[in-house]
Amino acid sequence: MSVNPTVRHRLEAQGFCGLDNDVFEALAPWMRWTYTLGMLVTIIGVVMMSPVVLWSLAAVTAVGIFFPFHPFDLLYNFGFRHVTGTWPFPKSGPQRHFVFVVASIWLAATGWAFYVGSEIVGFALGIPLILVAALASTTNFCIPSFMYNTVVSRLKKPAVNGKV
């Protein structure tokens, strides 16, 4: 049995490249782990209109900008993977680092909206954030990774007749 080519493409678009088929097949169902946990905490923060929950998640997510992993990856790598009998998650690529930048800023802004008492803005920011995370959690399609790859591929495209 092999991983669906669409799933493989979407996970590689997130920067999970260079994995052999056995590792990829074993990890593919679990690579939604970090997005799913982040989404669940975001739901709690938005429903409670809690800047503390949202800012805490923003801080946790920001760790993933500077390190080759997200802290939720560590929960999997040093804990839950022993239940699943799989390999640890690979290090984050630039796409995931970009995702963590976007998510950290978005979470901080959502928390700020609730902090200043602007519930409408908080929900207007929080609900789409939850939906973006839900999309990645259910389909492996990550909008910020797609945006990153689109921009980078255009920047790397060679000029033809002086035009890009």
Q: How many CB atoms lie within 10 A of CB 116?
A: 11
Tell me which residue of 140, 130, 145, 134 sits closest to 95, measured CA to CA: 145
Average pLDDT across each block of 10 residues of the chain; the chain has 164 residues. List them in order: 82 87 87 95 98 98 96 95 91 94 98 98 98 96 94 74 56
Give the pLDDT score at 156. Answer: 74
Tell me which residue of 124, 30, 104 sits closest to 62, measured CA to CA: 104
Give the pLDDT score at 139. Answer: 94
Domain range annotation of the chain: 5-146
Angle, vertex CA 30, rays to CA 16 and CA 75, nearest 5 = 95
Give the pLDDT score at 46. Answer: 98
pTM beyond 0.85: the answer is yes
